[in-house]
Structure 1
Amino acid sequence: MFIIGISGLSCSGKTTFSEKLCEALGKENCLLMSLDDYYKELTEEQYKILHNDEASINFDCPEAIDYEQLINHITSIRNNIEISIPKFDLGSCVVTRFENVKPNQYKFIVLEGVFIFNNEVLKKLFNLTIWIETCDYACALRRFIKYTKDIQGYNPEYTYNQCIKHVIPGQEKYIKPYRSGCDVLINGEKEDSSIVDMVVYLVKQKSNYNLAN
């Protein structure tokens, strides 16, 4: 099984590119996973202050991620063991449902998320790493629109404070340092089908070799 890791800044276009890549590789061949589904559950005290305008809770650090469960799920499905992927709601910060994934169905796992390279065990599982390059200003604007429009609980003041206190510092400390180590850099501000075709060609070349050996 060939495992692809896709990272970049928040709202850089990771999910969009991941979906296009899976479609090009054949959706029936791909298990698309999001790091967002592996946020740790909040404590009772944290839920009380979840959406205060001061944005007191920091979600923008690797410590907020349940890497143990994520790594267990990836290694299990790779070893032909059924898993149940949690579906985490970013607004309420609770797991709303689980999605059962049966083994022996997929050739590729595509994992997208901002902190996928911050855990050494997880990082070593990737056969190909991709960085989505989008400027900070575009990402910030996309995030503000997305979170205030589409996600319940995120009013403008909370979203702004979260970006200033946690998102931007977290990107500088935990995300950007891994850009230079990625195998492929993709322009997240430009829609170009030839870019997807190029990555598909690279994936197929590398995966055919790895799957055959």
Structure 2
Amino acid sequence: MTDSTKQSKTFILGVAGGSGSGKTYFAKALHRALGEQATIVYQDNFYIDQSHRFDHDGGSVNFDHPESLDLKLLAQCLGELKTGSVTNIPIYDFVTHSRKQEQLKVGPAKIVIVDGILIFHPEYLRAQFDEMIFFDTPESLRYARRLERDVKERGRTPEGVQAQFLKQVKPMHDEFVEPSKHHAHSIVKDLDDYYEYFDSYKAKLLKIIG
């Protein structure tokens, strides 16, 4: 951590990794542990409207390509939070695959946690982070978690999830997500050490909060 990040009014933490890597679990757990001193922003809310293309089971829509997201808007929102301003976060509906009319007003906090698979891909977005953590999880485990989530929470069929994983998720992970881990300050690989790592990083953020 540089002196400039220590002086920053708001500390912005990026948590990335492949779909089903455990990054969201980690980000949510940190958010709960830090309470009102922290806020969380999800990359998934920044998908562009895909309702005109979606065939109810993935189809031609590639949700794992950077162009499916408005990452510049995400960078803008983080910039506003970093200066202590309130920002408006879009809300994406994964059933209709469109943005809801209402927006989520997010106020400034000492710690802003950002969760997403592609947040380390563009340089202009990486520039917003004070620290970046990447969860490097085996593909078989990532697929099993994604299958369970998409069927239970997003109304997908197992066949559709598998087809999308092979056609889009895996190729995009290999092309965009995996290379982005080299920008991370920390890479979490050993799942057996997860809780030890979590406690250690939580303590680090509590020191930043003061």
Q: C-alpha distance in 2, partners of 1:183/1:79?
A: 23
Partner of 2:158: 156
Deviations 1:74-101 (A, max 9, x none): 1112223222212212232122342112
Shift of residue 52 of structure 1?
4.9
In the alignment, is the contact (CA less than 8 A) between 2:50 and 2:61 conserved in 1?
Answer: no
Aligned mate of 1:61, from 65, 86, 89: 65
Q: Distance in 2 between matches of 1:191 and 1:149?
A: 28
Residue aligning to 1:120: 123
Instruction: Verify the 8 A CA contact 1:132 1:188 in the aligned structure 2.
Output: no
1:131-170 → structure 2 map (5 Å cutoff): 131-152=134-155, 154-170=156-172
Tell me the equivalent position of 2:79.
75
State the distance in 1 between where 2:195 and 2:51 align: 44
Give 1:181 shift: 2.9
Residue in structure 1 matched with residue 177 of structure 2 by the alignment: 175
Gaps of 5+ in 1: none
TM-score by length of 1: 0.85
| Counterpart Cα distance in 2 of 1:167 and 1:192 | 25
Query: What is the Cα deviation at residue 192 of structure 1?
Result: 4.0
- Counterpart for residue 36 of structure 1: 44
> How many angstroms apart in 1 are the aligned matches of 2:89 and 2:70?
12
Q: So what's the TM-score if we normalise by structure 2?
A: 0.86
Query: How many residues are paired up?
Result: 200
- Mark the runs of 5 or more structure 2 residues left unpaired by the alignment: 1-9
Residue 88 of structure 2 corresponds to which residue in structure 1?
84
Q: Which residue of 2 aligns with 1:15?
A: 24
- Farther-moved stretch of structure 1 (174-183 vs 33-42): 174-183
Compute the RMSD of aligned alpha carbons: 2.1
